[in-house]
Amino acid sequence: MQMAAAAAAASPMFSCSSTDSPWRFFTVQEARTLEAICEQIIPADKDAGAKQAGVVNYIDRQIVGHFKRHQKTYREGLAAVDQTSRTLFSKVFAELSSEQQIKILEALEKNEVPADLWKGRSAKQFFELVVEHAMQGFYGDPRHGGNRNGVSWRMLGVPYPPIRGRLHYDLTKPVGTQPA
């Protein structure tokens, strides 16, 4: 509750439509759609995908902070994705089969979407923004809410190194003259 209040305070233009959403900005339905999109962008295989990495958590955290300027784009874009899915396949995006989801995303990428549903907005630009943010949430630093447990870094073979460096000791003075 406290979090929802903070999110509402941070985004006076677009308050959460459902106060029982566990997210800072997204409604339950928006988060579900976004998670399904992101899972197609970075699907789970033998390694974790976007969902397990917490990519939506990353985007949700940034969109009440550094990405505040994208709030409108996400709100309208996610609604348009679900409308496009309903029009073409009679279900919201998250309930489509994987093949149908990919068809929709490919259509977004090429801007080949029903113009009346997107009202002059660029589906391609919206999708590219989500791809960019999904990559950040998956491959970026875990401290920002994505890449949970460093899953992508483990996949790539670059685990977070043990802390080294830090000015624990003054290396310019002879060793042993300072407390450990």
Q: What minimum distance in Å lies between the beta carbon of 18 and another protein?
A: 27
Q: Which of 22, 87, 141, 149 binds another protein (CB under 8 A)?
A: 141
> What mask, x for binding another protein by CB under 8 A, covers residues 86 to 105?
----------------x--x
Q: Among 160, 137, 132, 153, which Cα is nearest to 61's?
A: 137
Closer by beta carbon to another protein, 119 or else 166? 166
What residue has token string 């080949």?
112
Report which DSSP code applies to 177. S
Distance between CA atoms of 137 and 105, rounded to whole angstroms?
19
What residue has token string 């899972």?
39
Closer by beta carbon to another protein, 21 or else 93? 93
Distance between CA atoms of 171 and 126, rounded to whole angstroms?
51
Distance between CA atoms of 124 and 152, rounded to whole angstroms?
26
Q: What minimum distance in Å lies between the beta carbon of 8 and another protein?
A: 21
Q: What minimum distance in Å lies between the beta carbon of 79 and another protein?
A: 21
Residues in contact with another protein, counted by CB under 8 A, come to a total of 36
Residue 45 touching another protein (CB under 8 A): yes
Q: Which of 7, 31, 42, 64 binds another protein (CB under 8 A)?
A: 42
Residue 180 touching another protein (CB under 8 A): no
What's the angle, vertex CA 104, arms to CA 102 and CA 108, rounded to 5?
A: 115
Residue 167 touching another protein (CB under 8 A): yes
Q: Among 151, 133, 134, which Cα is nearest to 142's?
A: 151
User: From residue 108, how far is each of 1, 50, 71, 84, 99 by CA, in Å?
Assistant: 35, 19, 19, 10, 14
Q: Which of 11, 15, 28, 47 binds another protein (CB under 8 A)?
A: 47
Binding residues vs another protein (CB under 8 A): 40-43, 45, 47, 49, 62, 66, 102, 105, 109, 128, 131-132, 134-136, 139-141, 143-144, 152-153, 155-158, 161, 164-167, 171-172
